Each structure stands twice: as structure tokens, then as C-alpha cells.
Amino acid sequence: MATCVWATGGTQFRFRTPDPQTEKGSGGKQKLLGLPLFTFLFATDPPNVVEHYDGCFAAMRDRFPDSEMLVFELPGFGMSHSQRSSIDDLAQDLTNFILKVKQDHSESDMVLVMPCVSALFCPLVLPNLPLGTVEHLVVVQCADYAGELRWANGVNSGGMLSLPGLARLYNYLNAKAISANWYKATFPKRGSYHECCGCKTATSQLETDVDQGALQARSWFSSVAARAFDKGARFPLAWCLQRLFYAPPPASKLVRVLREGRGTIQINTLMIWGMQDGTHRANLADEKDAPSFARYVSAPLVQHRCFSDSAHFPELQHPQQFASAVYDFVQRSERSPACAGKGSGGRQPPVRAASRL
């Protein structure tokens, strides 16, 4: 795996990708199945950092052996950063990074994978991208604005994270401890994690000793995050919740679009929910039958899948199941009206610019 940095205009994105020279798939499989090559662009779900995604990429490569995989940290999280501080500026930074990735991989279809709060940027960012920048969207563990506010209130049940100034200082000084507690809350105490990167126990033992499997998974996730924090990574949970929910700037375009709830996303979308997520307990019953994020999507194909054993990180806790769900989705999406006639001759030219948000 190669960990890289892309910097522009005071903003730095840290991302990770398999080395194409040593970790490429066996080749030919997708072409035989009639699928194009893809570039999968994942956002991390903090406090996860890019190093958490190696197991997910291995599972994805089994299904998409010749496609590219990249995972990045949003500016302000992990070891990505920006000199700008507003939530709308973060949306613009994300737009610029997506365009950069598309320029570098213009011959493949982009599949954007956005977990949790990062998915809330999609209703603003995606409509402002040139046609043909992102072909497919996968949303993981994210409700609509009202549902995410319920989630935030559950996470912030003591009220600490909504205190101006003090909460951010506390968050900054205690990021490693907050991260460890986050993994305790977002992993079920009992669960089978033999797919999960970091579980060192043999699969047969994990299937019978679910307590040990969950403990090993949580310990591994915490240790990877802790090493990143020791090197300067950040997890500004308080800043994020305040900017989005508790004290959003009155002129924020992102918050306005989210509150309006219009179907601004016009690309085929898959929504995935892990049903053992204690932090989303207030949302799970509704999301199982009618995922609320769908209000932001007006595309021919809108699918949702529920993983009964996964919690807050389905793509990391059960990566093989995740890869299979994405594979089934893009097969169907490529045959849908939104992608009809999109052969090599009809592909959009390389993207050069986007309108400012």
C-alpha cells in the first residue's frame, strides 16, 4: 500500500491506494463479465484513518481485480488538513479532490463511497460536479439531516460536545481516549468478525468465541487509530457536530440543502446499514424499511442493503459482504437507464473544472 498526500491552496488530503505494480488483480475478470474498470474512492469514517482500509481493499480486489482503490481523510480529520475552517469550505475542498482523482483516472467509472457524516456532503457536492465525474454512489450508515441530528444527540447525550470552545479543546486534548471509547460504542460486544482486518484468531475459533472476536477487532481498530494520533492525526468530533447541527453558520449552503431535503443527487445510489450500531439505535427501525437518505436522491436506481451482523463500519467489519453488495449494485446500475449508452464512445471527456459551490 502507498500512502500519499495531495496539497493545493492550503489544503492537504492524505490518501492511501494499493501499489499497482505489486497488488494488481489477476486481470480480465471484469471485461469477461461486461463491466468497465472502476475507480473506487472511499472517504474514511473517523476516527478511522486510511490504514484501517487495507482489509476492505483486499476484499474489493477479489470482486474488482483490475479496478483502482483510493481512501482519503477529509481535511481536518486524520492527517488531512485545511487552512479554511467553514463546513462549506470543506465541501469545496472535497469537490476539488474528487475532480483531481477523476482527472488522474479519467478512463474509468468512479464509484464514490461515503460513510456516515461524510455522505451529508453529497447533496451539495455531486450536483455541482461536471456530468460524468461520478457514475455511482455508495452511502454507508447515514440518515437524512433529521436522522443524523438524532444520531448526534445520542452521541452527545451529556451535552459536552455542543459547548462552544470548551468542547473543541476537550476533544483536541483527549482525541485518543475519545477514539477508544468510540470503538467500544460502535462495535457490538458480541459478533463474528472473521472478515475484519486485525482479527488474528483463526476463523473457526472466532465463529465459536464471538466475545474474543469482538475484543480483538476493537483492540486492533483502537491501536491503528492511536498510532495515527501519536503522529498528529485529529478527530474533531465536536467541531463537526457543532458546524452541522448545534451551531451551523446561518449562511451555510450545505446545511440549507440538507434541511430542504430535495433530491439533488441524480446518480444511482446504494445505501448500506449495519443493524448492530448502538450509536444509531434511534434510527435503525426506520432505516431498515425506508432509508431516509433516499430523499436526497432522484435517480433511476436507489437500492438499500442491511447487514444484520455489522455495526457502524460495515465496509470494515464485514468487507467481503460489503464488496459483494457493491458488486451486485454496480452490475445492476450499469444496466439502468442512467447508464444506458455509456460505452467507451459516449464517455465524458476528462473533467477539468467545476462550478464553485
Residue range 24-52: mean pLDDT, rounded: 75
Pairing of strands 68-72, 81-82: unpaired
User: Which one has a higher pLDDT value, 186 or 55?
Assistant: 55
pLDDT tens per residue, range 200-220 = 554 445 454 555 677 888 889
Question: Which residue, among 189, 184, 130, 142, has the nearest Cα to 45 in the 3D structure?
Answer: 142
Residue range 117-144: mean pLDDT, rounded: 98
Residue 32 has pLDDT above 80, yes or no: no
CA distance linking residue 300 with residue 267, whole number of Å: 8
CA distance linking residue 135 with residue 329, whole number of Å: 12
pLDDT tens per residue, range 153-210 = 999 988 999 998 889 898 989 999 999 999 988 887 666 677 887 765 544 454 545 5
For residue 356, the tally of other CB atoms under 10 A from its CB is: 7
Q: pLDDT value at position 20?
A: 60
Q: Please give the full DSSP string across 46-81, using - where no structure is assigned.
A: TT--GGGGHHHHHHHHHHSTTSEEEEEPPTTSBT-E
Q: pLDDT value at position 214?
A: 76
Domains of the chain plus CATH, in order, are 2-158+250-346 (3.40.50.1820)
CA distance linking residue 48 with residue 251, whole number of Å: 30
CA distance linking residue 293 with residue 285, whole number of Å: 14
pLDDT tens per residue, range 260-310 = 999 999 999 999 999 999 899 889 999 999 999 999 999 999 999 999 989
Residue 74 CB contacts under 8 Å (≥ 6 apart), including other chains = 43, 44, 46, 80, 90, 93, 94, 118
CA distance linking residue 297 with residue 265, whole number of Å: 5
- DSSP structure class, residue 108: S
Residue 352 has pLDDT above 70, yes or no: no
Q: pLDDT value at position 40?
A: 98
Q: pLDDT value at position 22?
A: 46
Look at 13-22, 99-108, 262-271, 334-343 and tell me which has the smallest mean pLDDT: 334-343
**Residue 106 buriedness (CB in 10 A; 0-12 / 13-18 / 19+):** middle
CA distance linking residue 290 with residue 177, whole number of Å: 35
Look at residue 142 and give its three-state secondary structure. coil
pTM of structure? 0.90
